[in-house]
Amino acid sequence: METTNQPYENQINVFSEFLEDLPDTDEPVWVLGECYNVKTEKTKLLSDVHSRLWFTYRKKFSPIGGTGPSSDTGWGCMLRCGQMILAQALVCSQLGRAWRWRAEGGQPEEYHRILHCFLDKKDSCYSVHQMAQMGVGEGKSVGEWYGPNTVAQVLKKLALFDDWNSLAVYVSMDNTVVIEDISTFFFPSLGADCGPDPVAGGNPSPLEKHQSKPSRFDWRPLLLVIPLRLGINHINPVYIQALKECFKIPQSCGVLGGKPNLAYYFIGFVGEELIYLDPHTTQSAVESEAGSGVDDQSYHCLRSPRRMKITNLDPSVALGFFCKSEDDFDSWCNLVQQIQMKRNLRMFELVENHPPHWPPFVPPTKPEVQTTGAEFIESSDKLFESEEEFEILNV
């Protein structure tokens, strides 16, 4: 069981300790699609990791549902990781992947608007309050631990209420990404017209057919989340190289996962170790009045980077990718096909057509939100969710 009483609140290590903690190696360090040389690009590497929004346990916020918990310590780590992967998508959408945070301030207005979306208050779009209460519809009581798939489903629903970002969140099922289903987000009149896959010969491939469709609707920024189970009790070594390749893809938005009792937000790797942001620090909630700025120092992790051996990874994960445009998505499809076909590395399937034995795909719509108060239950962190969560996933 995880220890929930932290002996510190946001202990910060000095700038240089991050660099010294990295191995002195000639191997490249990959962070969310960017490659760095530890020996020659330490400052750039640090700036990149330092700029990621870091969400941790908080305390002393208004009770969830009015009567529920005022802290998520001990149960909210996967919710915080979900916030981090979504925040990364919003930063890429509004500011671009090359944007960097500056400790001295002077951030663009879009940055502050993104941060306001995650503040620990009931009227923030992606607050722990909203996530916990939306989770009730996924069968989770407030205070119960989430797995990667459940938090992805919650993010998909909450994004429907975010008119400013207009983010589309697609969560795959059965280890399969269906291009036709994603197309229905933006091409509703074309989704059902794809027909069966063409036979071998002069006909275009399914991906080529998708790419030839006219852009009759504006593409919305897309966060693609792929829940997977990469083994039974431990990650199967056959998936390790494929997992590494995901962090090399320019559209990489990180990975939700962890190890038994702990959830982490993975942002890259070096050698045989994963680099991650750790939400298991309890900080006080940040106060903010409407229209005012936010003290954002506690939303960026200045401590040494956390690393863990890939072989210690729990097999329950969710891959994240962000595609800002249709061309971006087509590029992602091409890269995935190259990895799968040329290097024979495969963690999930990418198919053109909706499988005929599946229920029809229905684009998500705003759900009815029930706010009946919080039913808080005592729960310690656990990485394994109920078996039902992965009934739809192929092991």
Q: What distance lies between CA 68 and its chain's CA centroid?
A: 26
278 is catalytic: yes
- For residue 388 the two structure tokens come to 């039902």
129 is catalytic: no
Give the 3-state secondary structure percentages of the chain, helix then strand then coil, rounded to 5.
Answer: 30, 15, 50
Determine which one of 72, 120, 278, 328 is catalytic: 278
Q: Are 58 and 283 in contact (CB under 8 A)?
A: yes
Distance between CA atoms of residues 61 and 375, nearest Å = 17
Q: Decide: residue 357, CB within 10 A, 0-12 exposed, 13-18 middle, 19+ buried.
A: exposed
Determine which one of 50, 210, 280, 354 is catalytic: 280
Q: Name the 3-class secondary structure at 4.
A: coil
Distance between CA atoms of residues 86 and 118, nearest Å = 10
Q: Decide: residue 107, CB within 10 A, 0-12 exposed, 13-18 middle, 19+ buried.
A: middle
Determine which one of 48, 72, 77, 194 is catalytic: 77
187: number of Cβ within 10 Å: 19
295 is catalytic: no
> For residue 241, how many C-alpha atoms fall within 13 Å in the half-sphere facing its CB?
7
Q: Are 81 and 279 in contact (CB under 8 A)?
A: yes
Residues that are catalytic: 77, 278, 280
